[in-house]
């Protein structure tokens, strides 16, 4: 198994089947698996996933009985994964799976990378999402110095081992670059496509993302200040 693709979803029934087919097409010729984590959907996403799972050997689906949030859904998927490298992407269809091979190519350059981060230079979002992301990215970059322009992009490729060594907390998926750097890993950002949402309804809101994210930044900064990376001899 070369790669496990983890897709957290909540009420994205209309996007599931098209995105699964895009992932399969993008990774044709590779040994991969797709792990969908249904975070307590109530729109029929789970029966659809089980039906697709029965027909597609690459697909596995797991479900949270009660919604636990995106970070916990990603953690569940990574724990289920069989490959040593993980790719994550959002389940709303705005990330393009065709960018994954380009990101994987970064790992073949001999650098000691633990994470390749997607960078959405051209955002296809509402003004509210672009505005709030600009604020959060500015505060985050100043306080965390996490060496990435777009930590909020769901499209990432990272080491399963390095991820599972990170401290877990709700909303941690927004701070993966800073957390990987805190652990002594190296990261790189790669420009990726970003598409407009054409199906389903966004769960993004000013109060459920922006302000909570800014509060979390101070917690991650606290973790950074207390990190100690030993230099081993022998």
User: What's residue 151's pLDDT?
Assistant: 83
Beta bridge partners of 38: 9, 63
User: What's residue 197's pLDDT?
Assistant: 83
- CA distances to 14, 105, 145, 152, 207 from 178, rounded to whole Å, are 33, 22, 8, 12, 23
| pLDDT (tens digit per residue) in 183-234 | 888 999 999 999 888 786 765 554 555 555 667 777 777 777 776 666 666 6
Measured at the alpha carbon of residue 18, what is the angle toward residues 15 and 20, in degrees to the nearest 5? Answer: 100
| pLDDT (tens digit per residue) in 85-128 | 999 999 999 999 999 999 999 998 766 899 999 998 887 766 66
pTM of the model: 0.86
Q: Determine the average pLDDT of the residues in 3-23.
A: 97
User: Quick one: fold of 3-225?
Assistant: Spore Coat Polysaccharide Biosynthesis Protein SpsA; Chain A (3.90.550)
User: Residue 16: CB partners within 8 Å, gap ≥ 6?
Assistant: 9, 36, 45, 48, 49, 52, 91
| pLDDT (tens digit per residue) in 135-173 | 666 666 677 777 788 888 999 999 999 999 999 998 899
> Which one is predicted more confidently, 53 or 223?
53
Say if strands 3-9 and 32-39 run parallel, antiparallel, or are unpaired. parallel
Q: Alpha-carbon dihedral of residues 95, 101, 102, 107, nearest 10 degrees?
A: 120
User: What's residue 232's pLDDT?
Assistant: 64
Closest CA to 82 of 9, 27, 19, 160: 160
Closest CA to 69 of 9, 129, 19: 9
């Amino acid at each position: 198994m070369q790669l496990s693709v983890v897709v957290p979803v909540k009420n994205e029934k209309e996007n599931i089947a098209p995105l699964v087919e895009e992932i399969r097409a993008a990774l044709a010729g590779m040994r991969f698996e797709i792990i969908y984590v249904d975070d307590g959907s109530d729109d029929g996403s789970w029966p659809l996933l089980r039906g697709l799972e029965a027909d597609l050997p690459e697909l596995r689906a797991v479900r949270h009985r009660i919604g636990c949030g995106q970070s916990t859904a990603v953690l569940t998927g990574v724990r289920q994964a069989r490959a040593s490298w993980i790719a994550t992407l959002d389940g709303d269809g705005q990330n393009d799976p065709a960018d994954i091979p380009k990101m994987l190519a970064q790992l073949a350059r001999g650098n000691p990378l633990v994470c390749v981060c997607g960078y959405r230079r051209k955002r296809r979002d509402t003004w509210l999402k672009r505005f709030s992301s600009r604020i959060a990215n500015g505060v985050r970059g100043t306080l965390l110095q996490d060496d990435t322009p777009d930590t909020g992009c769901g499209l990432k490729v990272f080491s399963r081992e390095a991820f599972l060594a990170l401290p877990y907390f709700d909303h941690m998926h927004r701070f993966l670059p800073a957390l990987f750097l805190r652990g002594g890993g190296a990261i790189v950002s790669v420009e990726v496509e970003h598409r407009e949402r054409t199906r389903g309804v966004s769960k993004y809101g000013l109060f459920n993302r922006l302000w909570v994210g800014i509060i979390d930044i101070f917690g991650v900064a606290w973790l950074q200040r207390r990190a100690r990376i030993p230099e081993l001899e022998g």
